[in-house]
Amino acid sequence: MASGKRGKKNDAEQKINEVIEFMNLLVEDTTIPKNIKKAINDAKEKLSETGDPVLRASSAIYMLEGISEDINLPMHARTQIWNIVSSLEMIKGD
């Protein structure tokens, strides 16, 4: 049974790494305001910490949901943030 838990944790870590890559693309986007990039970086740092992947995903979701409503966020970036949040929600559900 322990190996099953370990497998889920590894899957969660892999999903987190994929999400971080998507976040890196957003941070490099020149059309995104600096305050949004800072919030994305803060969420990325939270995901990069050690500890329970579900808790890290929850913290990042909280940060990203706040910026997803920002009026200055370009629509394409908003869609990407929603996709990232959706991926993080899957980690919480696992």
Q: How many CB atoms lie within 10 A of CB 86?
A: 11
Query: For position 9, what pLDDT does the model report?
Result: 75
Task: Write out the two tokens for 8.
Answer: 């889920």
2-93: in CATH 3.90.700.10: no
Confidence at residue 92, expressed as pLDDT on a 0 to 100 scale: 83
Q: Write down the pLDDT at residue 6.
A: 66
pLDDT, one tens digit per residue, over 9-45 is 788 999 999 999 999 999 999 999 999 999 999 999 9
| Among candidate residues 9, 70, 75, 15, the one with its CA nearest the CA of residue 40 | 70
- The gap between the terminal CA atoms of the chain, to the nearest Å, is 15
Which secondary-structure segment (H or E) carries 87? helix 75-93
Strands (E), the chain: none
Assess whether pLDDT exceeds 80 at residue 77.
yes
For the chain, the domains span 2-93
**Cβ contacts of residue 84 below 8 Å, gap of 6+?**
19, 22, 23, 64
